[in-house]
Amino acid sequence: MLMQFDPFREFDRLAEQLAAGARTPRPFPMDAYRRGDEFVVCFDLPGMDPGTIDLTVEQNVLTIKSERRFERREGGEVIAAERPHGAFTRQLFLGDTLDAERLQATYDTGVLTLRIPVAEAAKPRKVPITAGTEERTIEAQTSPVST
């Protein structure tokens, strides 16, 4: 059951929104992890229309923007309006070891999932070594990728 309108609670909610939100877009939560030769980043964007999600990469900076509007219906009385709405944004700095050109993005059940492959140049590779007249191959190790 919904509570009746409380002007003091509404005042507190409006003050909180003004202090935190209207001037600056709010970030949304994310998880990031490495799985094999790719990084996976998941963002919670519940209730967002996929058409409002804007994803750009410029000079190793990944920017995600979206917006959810509060739709007031004519003749309706707002009892509670607690769900976040407005502009949302998040930026990530991608390391040079990631291949942003092959980034893939999917949106399903309110979660935006990005898959960013590790760049070929950053993957471990075998390097042939010649010793005298005998040639053999050893595996070169690289340090773990961190972003």
When divided into structural domains, the chain yields a total of 1
pLDDT of residue 2: 36
> Phi then psi for 81, rounded to 5 degrees?
-140, 75
Quote the pLDDT of residue 5.
45
Band of residue 79 on the pLDDT scale cut at 50, 70, 90: confident
Determine, yes or no, domain membership for 39. yes
pLDDT of residue 67: 84
137 domain residue, yes or no: no
Read off the CATH number of the domain in which 79 is found.
2.60.40.790
Q: What stretch of H or E contains 111?
A: strand 111-117
pLDDT digits (tens, 9 = 90+) for 89-126: 888 888 888 888 999 999 999 999 999 998 877 677 78
Residue 57 falls within a domain, yes or no? yes
Q: Does any domain span residue 1?
A: no
Q: Which domain holds residue 84?
A: 7-119
| Inside any domain, residue 62 | yes
**pLDDT higher at 103 or 81:** 103
Instruction: Judge if pTM exceeds 0.85.
Output: no
52 pLDDT exceeds 60?
Answer: yes
Q: What is the pLDDT of residues 2-30, one digit of tens each?
A: 344 455 655 665 666 566 555 445 567 88
Please tell me the distance from the alpha carbon of residue 62 to that of residue 59, in angstroms, as a whole number: 8
